Structure 1
Amino acid sequence: MKQRVVGAIWFFSFIVTMPLLYITDPPRNITPSSLITVGLVFVLTALFSFKVKGTDIIALQGIGLAGFLIFGLFVETLLTQFGILVYLLSQRIGKNDVYRLPLNSVMFLLVSLSAGSAYYALGGEIGVVSGNVLDLSLIPIIGFYLSAYLVNTLCLDLIRRWLLSLPVKAKVFDKDAVWEIVVTAMMMPLGIAFYLMYGTKGWLGMMIIAVPMVTLSVIVRLINNSQELIKFLQSVNHLGQQLTEELSVKRVLDLLFEKMPDILPVDYLYVVMYTKPEKPKLIRMFRKDEGESFVPFQQEADISLRVYRQAKAVIGSGNAGEMYPFLDALSDGRARSYLSVPMMHRGQVLGVMTLASHINKAYTKTSRIGMEIVGDFLAIALENAKNFEIRKKESERCPLTDLFNYRYLMKAISKLFNNPALESFSIIMLDIDNFKRINDTYGHQNGNAILIGVANRLRKTVGHKGIVARYGGEEFTVLLPGLDRNLCFAVAETIRLAVAAEPFMIFNESDNRYDQIYVTISLGTSTAPADATESSELIYNADHAMYKGAKQKGKNRVARYV
């Protein structure tokens, strides 16, 4: 709605303003060669703009004074409008940013009107074009630029507050404002020089200044682009190093999705892994608008399949949905640019990373090069993190039951003893009753099946209340942070009932069938710091309670250390 209002303001302002300007300050000193020359300078100035400290520098205000003094306010306004149109079109304006055309047109229309009005109000006159600097009125010229600066600043403030709803700094003179004042001050002698050279040498004199000015703009632009490229590649390299330093797959992806929007315009980002080429998996997805609609991934509908097969990046703009329905559905038809790069590791494509933006032509060849680097770093980081997690799991987990092992258990107990905020914690030692008989009767393979079955019931019964570990052989341990001896005893009894209540399935090879057997366990509990002050003592007391208080008294029971 606000954008439509801007369009309406632009339409009516031109209908009313331009005829009035033509009547009040008609064109003067018009010749085809002079108008073409000044118009060409306006176009070149707009095309070869450059940035300094993030500020777009367009010398239109500098030559605007020359156009105003030579041809009058009407022609200067038209030339400025034409110049700003050329500048905006050179910035690859997408459909979502079309409103910037009428918006900037209205803003520079106000700038031209205010600058010309200030010049006339301060006694400035326009007559025959002169090459003598003494014929110029300095105060009206200063008023011309000062008015242009103030109106430009007020318009930008209004745009930020009303149209874009951005927070506006309370400071009147910040670093950006100081820089804009410096640039405006630099434009004034440039405009005077253009006018004087035109008055002395005609259109050739203006070109004498225009050529080196445009050349300087090109040089500054090239330097600026190279600096931006260096900065971009430094940020890419820094991100890559950060990714490879992480040893968790989750943290690698968290870091990628956190940092990427700071490097490039990203409204959508997702990673598809081709570890199993026949079953590619979408492992993480980012949407800037935090849309909740679920879009099922289908490889035939996505760009990543092409990138995987060709092992080459794909960059494009326009309506991505015509070729890639998944991206179109994900963005609700709003994606206008996309960049998809392979994640290469040792000559193989492990996955594909895809970025998309609402901005048309948001990604360049430089973006592609940078993202290919990030993709390779990401592949290495994910592979390293996955291998580390596998090794960590192998070192901390029992390969048969997938429970924590003795090493992890001792570290966990030590951490609890060193936690001053924890008032108490308990441990349960449990042993499968008559397990040797099960092995001798049904075989070790069925014995392993019983161990796995008991582990699953322990995991399900304990849940998030504690840590379940395989202590060794047929012995298991349950560590319960924050639970005193009474609560620990209640959990132990619940575990005992869970194991004894339902039968376990074993395979009877002699009869080639599955049989059901019931299994019981004996449990012992101990609590710290009441029963023990160190890890080995805590385990010994629970183990002692299990054998003395449960095993030797009939099994299938819970005993508490006393």
Structure 2
Amino acid sequence: MELSVNSKVKKAIFLLWLLLVPPGLVLTYTFFPPQADINILDIIGFLALASIVASMPMIINGTPVFLIQWVSIAVFLRYGLFVEMITVQVSVLVLLLKLKLPKEGLFRLPLNSLMFFIVSLCSGLVYVSMGGKIEPNFDDGGNPIWIALAYAFFYYVLHQLIIMFFQRVVYKSKESYFGKDFVWESITTMITFPLGFVLYKLHLDMESSALILMGGPFASVALLLRAFSRTQVINEYLQKAAEIGHQLAEQSKVNEVTDLFLQKLSGMLPIDYAFVIEVQENDQLVMVRRIENGTVLPNRQFAMKKNQGISGTVWGTGKPVLFGTKKEWSHIVSSHVPDDAESILGVPMMKNGKTMGILVLASRRKRAYEKSLLIIVDILCSHYAIAVENARHYEQAKEESERCSLTRLHNYRYFERVLNREFNLLLQHSRERLALIILDIDHFKSVNDTYGHQSGNEVLRELASRIERIVGEAGTVARYGGEEFVILLPEATTKEAYNLAELIRQSIASWPFILTENIEGEKLSIKITASFGIASAPNDADDALALLRHADRALYVGAKRAGRNRVAAYVK
């Protein structure tokens, strides 16, 4: 939520804290001073107990709950408003230090300090106005107990109202406040209310021993709950890792695998920078994906050797690295890691005991990654390495099934799919026009008969190369079959298709083809020609097959029968 708070609001919070909290503490000390016979060691004991409670939030159902109020109730009833304020302010400081706030979140310290100051002051004034006294006597029952209960209830309600106000005004959040966190905090606070009164009564009778008697079990329970919660979190992450592994395995393209992998990681970890680096066969590291602040950027070229830099260290050792602050890794040369990064997590991507790549994650926050998550990311990297390998094999097999092995052009299967797709776009008015060129080598059989089939293959390969160079990105080139080739041109007019076909025709007729594998055994230079047929949609055809048929008719009727080595357009 810190990112939604602009700098002006943060400055206003710091200014408001300066104007209210320090002067307010001085005035509170003036009007509500602590007792003259106060025991400083007891105060230190309460401060220590409050600090321990603040540093060990209880994790209940995945929700962190900071149970400070039961300690503050005992302190207030025992020593009054000023000591309670100091105790709570120290607790807030300890709590936020425990959370390791990033630089942009430091405004939360004065914000929470201000909130608890207002809650303490207002609750204390309400207690006094109801006739409440310091060190009330609960033995006789009656008003002292009810006034103390009213104080505790008002304290909690006011605290929640201020949090709700900050959520709406400071953080601009539109989420419902009365969610899971609110329910669990309310339940646990109500349950622990009696602890505050018990601690107060025990301290009256036992003094410092009461702090140990109450604080010890509470700290033990908090630690057990945290350990249990952490185990649950790790189990949930392991389940997520298994699910993500299945999702990665379902992807058939390498880019899709990488995108999904980083998307899932970003949902689990605080990531400002992510780099996926591949180890190539020549033992070179190549960056295949670079994401900064959620944006995919062009990959950087860098030369990295084993045991050099963060990536090289992971590569050389085959072990993950984890750094909590920039000081821990600044001595390692890493040209691709941004200067403002603090936390870094580097994990090898292993397959069959071999490092296939390296994942480097970075955050501007200090200590953003816990050691317990290393095993999760390591498992995900293994899933990723296998999924990439499978996707690469699939892409290679798909490419081979869609390519002519001789010319390396697309084959008719691929071309037919593209033709149908483009014609559907035309029918949906996403395309305005579509042009098709079919060309056939003139007297190609005589080339095979005279020079051999190997020479015929040389002609086909060279012809395919010339067509691809001329067409470029303007259309799709495919081998239609035998010595026939097709060119599909989206958004091209009949005239534009005619001009392109004429350019190709001239490149074939004007420049000889060199034969090195002919049956004569000598290097030969021959000339060939080709004939072209053109049809366009929607003018000439209402469906994909009609477009092919009409272009083919133009080829044989308009070009072949008219003498060959020419371009002809379909005429209805």
Partner of 1:22: 29
Q: Is 2:476 the counterpart of 1:471? A: no
Q: Is 2:556 the counterpart of 1:555? A: no
CA drift at 1:432: 2.4
d(CA) in 1 for partners of 2:472 and 2:553? 26
Asked if 1 retains the 8 angstrom alpha-carbon contact of 2:289 and 2:299, the reply is: no
- The equivalent position to 1:370 in structure 2, one of 376, 393, 415, is 376
Amino acid corresponding to residue 375 of structure 1 in structure 2: C
Partner of 2:555: 546
CA drift at 1:112: 2.3
Partner of 1:340: 346
Q: Which runs of 5+ in 2 are unaligned?
A: 1-6
Partner of 2:248: 243
Asked if 2 retains the 8 angstrom alpha-carbon contact of 1:124 and 1:137, the reply is: no
Q: Is 2:77 the counterpart of 1:72? A: no
- Count of aligned pairs between the two proteins: 557
- The equivalent position to 2:199 in structure 1, one of 180, 194, 206, is 194
Q: Is 2:467 the counterpart of 1:458? A: yes
- Give the TM-score of the pair, scaled to structure 2: 0.84
Q: Deviations over 1:285-314 (max 9, x none)?
A: 111164979854332564111111111111
CA drift at 1:345: 1.1
d(CA) in 1 for partners of 2:385 and 2:418? 32
- State which drifts further: 538-547 or 280-289: 538-547
Asked if 2 retains the 8 angstrom alpha-carbon contact of 1:111 and 1:152, the reply is: no
d(CA) in 1 for partners of 2:350 and 2:210? 57
Amino acid corresponding to residue 283 of structure 2 in structure 1: E
Q: What RMSD over aligned residues (CA atoms) do the two structures have, in Å?
A: 3.7
Q: Which runs of 5+ in 1 are unaligned?
A: none
- Residues 474 and 116 from structure 1, CA distance in 2 versus in 1: closer, same or farther, beyond 3 angstroms? same
- The equivalent position to 1:234 in structure 2, one of 239, 243, 256, is 239
Amino acid corresponding to residue 428 of structure 2 in structure 1: A
d(CA) in 1 for partners of 2:190 and 2:262? 43
- Residues 63 and 554 from structure 1, CA distance in 2 versus in 1: closer, same or farther, beyond 3 angstroms? same
Amino acid corresponding to residue 464 of structure 2 in structure 1: A
Asked if 1 retains the 8 angstrom alpha-carbon contact of 2:287 and 2:300, the reply is: no
Partner of 2:277: 272
d(CA) in 1 for partners of 2:190 and 2:103? 35
CA drift at 1:78: 1.8
Q: Is 2:533 the counterpart of 1:524? A: yes
* 1:299-310 matched pairs, under 5 angstroms: 299-300=304-305, 302-310=309-317
d(CA) in 1 for partners of 2:411 and 2:273? 41
Partner of 2:3: none
* 1:13-92 matched pairs, under 5 angstroms: 13=20, 15-28=22-35, 30-32=38-40, 34-53=42-61, 55-92=63-100
CA drift at 1:10: 4.6
Asked if 2 retains the 8 angstrom alpha-carbon contact of 1:118 and 1:140, the reply is: no
Q: Deviations over 1:122-165 (max 9, x none)?
A: 33221466566546242454244424542454256437744xxx
Partner of 1:210: 215
- State which drifts further: 458-467 or 266-275: 458-467
- The equivalent position to 1:360 in structure 2, one of 331, 347, 366, is 366
- The equivalent position to 1:405 in structure 2, one of 411, 431, 439, is 411
- Give the TM-score of the pair, scaled to structure 1: 0.85
- Residues 232 and 130 from structure 1, CA distance in 2 versus in 1: closer, same or farther, beyond 3 angstroms? same
- Residues 70 and 528 from structure 1, CA distance in 2 versus in 1: closer, same or farther, beyond 3 angstroms? same
- Residues 172 and 527 from structure 1, CA distance in 2 versus in 1: closer, same or farther, beyond 3 angstroms? closer
- State which drifts further: 308-317 or 264-273: 308-317
d(CA) in 1 for partners of 2:510 and 2:158? 84
Q: Is 2:120 the counterpart of 1:112? A: yes
Amino acid corresponding to residue 530 of structure 2 in structure 1: I
CA drift at 1:427: 3.5
Amino acid corresponding to residue 19 of structure 1 in structure 2: V
- State which drifts further: 54-63 or 243-252: 54-63
Amino acid corresponding to residue 454 of structure 1 in structure 2: L
d(CA) in 1 for partners of 2:546 and 2:295? 52
- The equivalent position to 1:381 in structure 2, one of 383, 387, 390, is 387
Q: Deviations over 1:497-524 (max 9, x none)?
A: 4544666666699999999766532112
- Residues 503 and 148 from structure 1, CA distance in 2 versus in 1: closer, same or farther, beyond 3 angstroms? farther
Asked if 1 retains the 8 angstrom alpha-carbon contact of 2:458 and 2:515, the reply is: yes
